[in-house]
Chain A
Amino acid sequence: MTTPILEIKNLHVKVEDEDKQILKGVDLVLPAGEVHAIMGRNGSGKSTLSYVLSGKDGYEVTEGQILFHGEDLLEMDAHERAAAGLFLAFQYPIEIPGVATMTFLKAALNAQRKSRGEDEMKIPDFMKLVKDASKKLEINPDMLKRPLNVGFSGGEKKRAEILQMALMQPSLCVLDETDSGLDIDALKIVSEGVNHLRAENRSMLVITHYQRLLNHIVPDRVHVFSDGKIVESGDRDLALELESKGYADFDGHAA
């Protein structure tokens, strides 16, 4: 049997310096090539899961483990995880004044290549790569000259995230509420961008609280997340069922 891309075993996480337990025993196996959706209410711990996966400071794993291609993910720094093929599309991409988007893209791509012991990209190759990928996402080249995410509309920010994902060619994409802040047209462009990246050697974890996104990015499995763990798993029909019944039927809490 091939090693799954991601394997989360009995993961317990609390906020550092606080006694607040957020994840309370998450188990998840994400095989290569599959797209899994995680659905849950606000505050159920979905975003925490994405931060713990990508290595954000401020969380403490108290129990359990995460294997990424069979390796202990928690041993790696955030930048090493990226170089190893993990990508988080942020719910709220950060604005960084003073750093041109192009400069950032080049620094990020080259840093990842360097971590993997590869040579830096030649500038013409890099320019061509960015140009082609931007075109698919209907990104105006002028946007890439602007400081990273500064003054970008909600839709532009999300498209810029997917552009980065396309350029970095990760093996695991974690999409955190990628549909938030998108109008229907932008949702379509972003979803097409994501679907285009579906591949046999790439898995995706799509975090959302609406079923809507899953009409565009059709998942292989759906997991319902409540109070820090997965309470129900099923195929994509589960998302539809959730949409019609609401979360209360699954976690027993009133909405």
Chain B
Amino acid sequence: MTKTQIKLNGAEEQLKALLASAGQDDAAAKFAEIGLPTRRIEAYHYTDLKTLVREVPAGIASDNDGPKANRSAFEGAARVEIVNGKLAGSFDVDGVEVAVSGNTGSGDDSVVLLSEALVGDVVEIKISGEVEQVLHIDRIIDGDAAINADKVTVTLDDGAKATLIETYNGSEAAHLRLATTEVVLGEGVEFAHLQLDGNSSETRHFASNRYELNADAQLQTFVQQSESQVARTTVSARFIGGGAHADFAGLNMLTGSQHGDITVHLSHLVANTTSTEVFKNVVNGRGKAVFQGKIDVAQPAQKTDAQMMCQGLILSERGEVLVKPELEIFADDVLCAHGATCGELDEDSMFYLMSRGIPRAEAKAMLIRAFLAEAFEPIEVYAVIETLEARVDSWLQEQEEA
């Protein structure tokens, strides 16, 4: 049997060699067949990695004397670090257990394939009961440019309640980050999962967030993409128990030639599950924001209510916001809606604020903050909102100065 071979470019050859040298022969062989995703693959329609990732760092992140990344901390939160793929420290919190294992995952998508095959520690977190203290995992890449793959799995026992903040921090170098987070929510779980971006500006960031919701589980998520050169977060969720509900939110805030892609795939598989999506995109310069939202409603999933909203604010002539909703509905008694709006700052609103004495830059900042408020508002950890708002303010300041 002959396998199809494609012509690999330099970056792909390097990645293939890296897989082989990591002892992942099957993954290397498979990667040689498929290479990096191109726009011919529907899920990568606007994010062609063959062109966006033309060169990759030489090796896997390890201890070295290169530059250090910033560390994030939130007052009152219990904090652990994963540095260059290795867990450092543990949570000393009742109801939270942390263990480390090796990886066993695989995938057909080449980003998932690489993420799983190259992963360092798989950090396994088990949560039971109501955990009041906010948990924080700081996922760090220290040192010179490197490929870094880490993975966190969170299992929430029935009735558990917790909030997890994840921060991605990287030293000033052109890293390739592959991050996986898998969350299983038991029955009646309440879980908030907030991911903040502290990557370096040259980083290429690929995150896969996968959720499974059992009966009556309540999930709230937020994803920030604003720092990396190229960022793509895929959010996928499987609703497998009735009464499960999830609110997904996120932000692309891009400038220069940044490319940020958030791709969401929800599978409502059983009756009586609900979801909302609120994604905001602000682009300046030649920034390109992508949102793809797919909702599958299986035949038994009657009474599904899925509401998807994506909004874009374009601050420059060459900024782009690309939005693609997809609905596949096999049940007949469902409410599914998707909406997308995209535009520039409203001139009448600008004039109104200025006519009241507010200078142009401040009026612009007020309207942009107002545009984002809807996505930040549901976040219950005040320190996270503060971090986000401070970043919006400094970002606006940078745009004024540019």
A residues near B, CB below 8 A?
Answer: 54-57, 77-79, 81-83, 87-88, 90, 93-94, 96-99, 104, 107-109, 111-112, 115, 147, 164, 168
In the complex the two chains form, is A99's CB within 8 Å of B351's CB?
Answer: no
B354 at interface, CB cutoff 8 A: yes
Q: Which of B331-358 contact A (CB under 8 A)?
A: 346-349, 351-358
Q: Which of B347-389 contact A (CB under 8 A)?
A: 347-349, 351-360, 362-363, 366-367, 369-374
In the complex the two chains form, is B373's CB within 8 Å of A98's CB?
Answer: yes
Q: Which one of B355, B356, B369 lies within 8 Å of A98 (CB-CB)?
A: B369
Q: Which of B314-345 contact A (CB under 8 A)?
A: none
Docked Cα-Cα span, A104 to B349, in Å, equals 12
Of the candidates A55, A57, A96, the one having the most CB atoms from chain B within 10 angstroms of its own CB is A96
Q: Which one of A55, A81, A93, A98 lies within 8 Å of B371 (CB-CB)?
A: A98
Given contacts A77-B360, A98-B374, contact A82 B355 (CB under 8 A): yes
User: What residues of chain A lie closer than 8 Å to B352, measured between beta carbons?
Assistant: 90, 93-94, 96
Per DSSP, chain B at the interface is: helix
In the complex the two chains form, is A57's CB within 8 Å of B371's CB?
Answer: no
Q: How far is the CB of B312 from chain A (nearest CB, A)?
A: 15
B residues near A, CB below 8 A?
Answer: 346-349, 351-360, 362-363, 366-367, 369-374
Given contacts A96-B370, A98-B369, contact A115 B355 (CB under 8 A): no
Which 7 pairs across A and B sit closest by C-beta, in order of nearness?
A98-B370, A82-B357, A112-B357, A108-B356, A78-B354, A94-B352, A98-B373
In the complex the two chains form, is A111's CB within 8 Å of B359's CB?
Answer: yes
Q: How far is the CB of B51 from chain A (nearest CB, A)?
A: 36
In the complex the two chains form, is A56's CB within 8 Å of B357's CB?
Answer: no
Docked Cα-Cα span, A147 to B349, in Å, equals 13
Docked Cα-Cα span, A56 to B348, in Å, equals 9
Given contacts A57-B347, A107-B362, A111-B362, contact A79 B354 (CB under 8 A): yes
Given contacts A107-B362, A111-B362, contact A94 B356 (CB under 8 A): no
Q: How far is the CB of B208 from chain A (nearest CB, A)?
A: 31
Given contacts A94-B348, A96-B349, contact A55 B362 (CB under 8 A): no
User: What residues of chain B lie closer than 8 Å to A83, measured between beta carbons?
Assistant: 357
Given contacts A79-B360, A96-B349, contact A55 B354 (CB under 8 A): yes
